[in-house]
């Protein structure tokens, strides 16, 4: 019996061949790694606000964005109405006051950004494209940071525009606005790193949400309680150093040292310059450490 060339079984014998059955080749441009990374970034950033997803997923991020902006609008309205000479609220304090909203946004959106890829095992599909592990982590991190920056910078922009419309001092307001922007940029970078690394540990969305919130709020509550006690005991030296132990007080310490903000610690007792430098180093260390953990997390792309 003659050997059939289409026999499905048998090893690659001398008669085995691949038939050209007329499929057309792809002749278009290969868009490459940078394009894939940019696409992932854009998709993740849009996804954080529910754009390109179902209507129900838009509800929460949009409500949180509105909740962030409404107090700023009210502050502006009060300033204009009372003809005050300065905003009743420093821009740098704004994010500290509304930290619960920022925390909720991160807790809701960080898991949707990374946990679902893990849960539905789509991570290997990303890596079948011309992107590397570092590209995936960088795109997700940049997208989450940008989403948080939009959330925190938009109310500051409202405050700034409102202050200018109320004919407050231009140089003064611009300086405050710039300081506020630097502060929320740092906050966005820190929060995004913490949120993503926790969310990437679990494929369960609900648990990721709770874990992110726990890491953000529990240390803050603990630090506030201990700071309050230290203040009552007159032990004011330690108050500045206690801020090292929770994300939002880290930001608070950095901005009260370097960005001329008033601290939210009891009685406005901010960290000393040395403590402020340590605060900044811890923030940068946390960001770098979280990114390193994320890189480690995706070494095995499966689960």
Q: Which residues bind another protein (CB under 8 A)?
A: 53-54, 56-57, 60, 100-101, 103-104, 107-108, 116, 120, 201-202, 204-207, 209-211, 213-214, 217-218, 221-222, 224-226, 228-230, 232-233, 235
Q: Are the beta carbons of 248 and 191 closer than 8 angstroms?
A: no
Pick the closer one to another protein by CB: 119 or 133: 119
Q: How far apart are CA 150 and CA 169, in angstroms?
A: 25
Q: How far apart are CA 227 and CA 84, in angstroms?
A: 33
Q: State the helix-helix crossing angle for 170-199 and 247-258, rounded to 10 degrees.
A: 150
Q: Are the beta carbons of 87 and 159 closer than 8 angstroms?
A: yes
Pick the closer one to another protein by CB: 7 or 225: 225
In whole angstroms, how close is the CB of 237 to another protein at the nearest point? 12
Smallest CA-to-CA distance from 138 within 300, 298, 301, 302 is with 298
In whole angstroms, how close is the CB of 204 to another protein at the nearest point? 6
Q: How far apart are CA 277 and CA 140, in angstroms?
A: 29
Pick the closer one to another protein by CB: 219 or 289: 219
Pick the closer one to another protein by CB: 148 or 213: 213
Q: Are the beta carbons of 225 and 132 closer than 8 angstroms?
A: no
Q: How far apart are CA 90 and CA 92, in angstroms?
A: 5
Q: How far apart are CA 27 and CA 127, in angstroms?
A: 23
Pick the closer one to another protein by CB: 69 or 100: 100
Q: How far apart are CA 36 and CA 30, in angstroms?
A: 10
**CB neighbourhood size of 57 (10 A):** 18
Pick the closer one to another protein by CB: 129 or 205: 205
In whole angstroms, how close is the CB of 48 to another protein at the nearest point? 14
In whole angstroms, how close is the CB of 110 to another protein at the nearest point? 12
In whole angstroms, how close is the CB of 235 to another protein at the nearest point? 7
Structure tokens at 204: 């369960």
Structure tokens at 254: 């950095």
Pick the closer one to another protein by CB: 38 or 119: 119
């Amino acid at each position: 019996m003659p050997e059939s060339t289409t026999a499905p079984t048998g090893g690659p014998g001398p008669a085995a061949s691949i038939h050209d059955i007329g499929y057309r080749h792809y002749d278009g441009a290969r868009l490459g790694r940078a394009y894939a990374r940019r696409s992932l970034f854009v998709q993740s950033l849009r996804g954080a606000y529910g754009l390109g997803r179902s209507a129900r997923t838009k509800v929460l991020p949009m409500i949180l964005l509105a909740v962030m902006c409404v107090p700023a609008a009210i502050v502006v309205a009060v300033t204009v109405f009372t003809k005050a000479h300065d905003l009743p609220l420093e821009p740098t304090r704004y994010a500290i006051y509304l930290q619960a909203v920022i925390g909720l946004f991160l807790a809701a959106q960080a898991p949707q950004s990374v946990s679902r890829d893990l849960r539905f095992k789509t991570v290997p599909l990303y890596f079948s494209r011309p992107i590397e592990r570092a590209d995936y982590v960088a795109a997700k991190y940049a997208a989450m940071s940008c989403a948080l920056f939009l959330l925190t910078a938009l109310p500051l922009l409202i405050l700034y525009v409102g202050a200018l419309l109320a004919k407050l001092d231009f140089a003064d307001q611009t300086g405050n606005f710039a300081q506020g922007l630097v502060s929320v940029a740092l906050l966005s970078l820190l929060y995004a790193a913490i949120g993503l690394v926790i969310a990437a540990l679990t494929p369960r969305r609900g648990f990721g949400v709770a874990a992110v919130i726990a890491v953000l709020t529990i240390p803050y509550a603990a630090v506030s309680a201990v700071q309050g006690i230290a203040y009552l005991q007159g032990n004011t030296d330690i108050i500045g150093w206690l801020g090292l132990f929770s994300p939002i007080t880290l930001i608070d310490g950095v901005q009260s040292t370097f960005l001329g903000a008033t601290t939210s610690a009891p009685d406005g007792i901010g960290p000393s310059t040395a403590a402020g430098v340590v605060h900044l180093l811890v923030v940068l260390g946390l960001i770098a450490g979280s990114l390193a953990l994320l890189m480690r997390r995706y070494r095995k792309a499966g689960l």
